[in-house]
Amino acid sequence: MNNISSRYANNGSALISLSLLGDYTHIIEADLQKKVIDELTSWYPDAVHWKHVKTYHIPYALPNDEKVFDDLDDHMFRLRDNCFVCGDYLLNGSINAAMKSGRKAAEAIIKDMI
């Protein structure tokens, strides 16, 4: 995060943000922190020295991932005449899905105009 703004961390430090998929409100916070650090340490050995700053539980922060799509037919972007939709929730919770759905909706609008 401090690569975005130097105000996020002191010189020589880094602020890292991560997201967990699922509901972890039922797990004791200290246990959750340990599980997360254990997992992160397998990727980043120095994570064992990282200091937890804050946890935010944000329900519904990402679209439902039970039905993930990579692509949809053009007609799926049309709600009704002259009304089209786009957004990552149509495909999967990602920036790429948001951009792809926007492009696909624009293409559907263009086809509708021709």
pLDDT at 26: 92
108 belongs to a structural domain? yes
107 belongs to a structural domain? yes
Kindly report the pTM of this predicted structure: 0.52
16 belongs to a structural domain? yes
- Quick check: 48 pLDDT over 70? yes
90 belongs to a structural domain? yes
pLDDT at 10: 80
The pLDDT tens digits of the residues spanning 3-42 come to: 778 788 887 788 888 888 788 889 999 999 999 999 999 9
Domain count, the chain: 2
Whether residues 10 and 45 share a domain: the answer is yes
92 belongs to a structural domain? yes
The pLDDT tens digits of the residues spanning 79-109 come to: 999 999 999 888 888 889 899 999 999 999 9
Range(s) of the domain holding residue 41: 6-49
Length of the chain: 114
61 belongs to a structural domain? no
85 belongs to a structural domain? yes
